[in-house]
């Protein structure tokens, strides 16, 4: 079931990429970070508590994320602008996670800044107005 879900995720992103590029638009596809992915961030005591006391989907992440990462690699090989952000918080020592799936405002800002970097680095992203950062 998890393999099927990962393939569907990949197909969706490939379809969105195809539709956008057919229309001359840039799309970027990001594999979001998750605190259950091993080795991606040393969790603080508060993060460990909110994750432990939250929804129980760690096993799904441990099973599914390697499959999503594999699918993401195949998307990139096919020319899709995509990036694995699971390690984006690896150097952050303070709280980032407010639960087992969602970052706080600092974490969200880091993700948005990386998305902007990807857009600005792509020729199609340079053709339009560059996003501004507050």
Query: What pLDDT, in 10s, does the model give residues 35-80?
Result: 999 999 999 999 999 988 877 888 999 999 999 999 999 999 999 9
pTM above 0.75, yes or no: yes
| 11-40 average pLDDT score | 94
Question: In which band, very low, low, confident or very high, does the pLDDT at 26 lie, cut at 50, 70 and 90?
Answer: very high
> Residues, the chain, total?
134
Across 21-30, 69-78, 125-134, least confident range: 125-134
Helices (H), the chain: 2-22, 45-52, 58-77, 105-121, 123-127
Using the CB atoms, write b or e for 109-120: b if 16+ within 10 Å.
ebbeeeebebbe
| pLDDT the model gives residue 105 | 98
Q: What is the rounded CA–CA span in Å between residue 131 and residue 134?
A: 10
């Amino acid at each position: 079931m998890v393999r099927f879900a990962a393939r569907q995720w990949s197909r969706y992103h490939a379809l969105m990429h195809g539709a956008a590029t057919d229309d001359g638009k840039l799309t970027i596809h990001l594999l979001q970070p998750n605190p259950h992915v091993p080795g991606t961030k040393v969790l603080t005591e508060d993060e460990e508590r909110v994750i432990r006391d939250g929804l129980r989907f760690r096993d799904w992440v441990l099973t599914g994320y390697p499959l999503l990462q594999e699918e993401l690699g195949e998307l990139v090989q096919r020319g899709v602008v995509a990036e694995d952000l699971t390690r984006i918080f690896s150097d952050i020592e303070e709280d980032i996670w407010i639960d087992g799936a969602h970052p706080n405002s600092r974490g969200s800002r880091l993700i948005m800044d990386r998305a902007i970097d990807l857009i600005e680095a792509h020729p199609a992203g340079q053709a339009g107005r560059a996003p501004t950062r507050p």
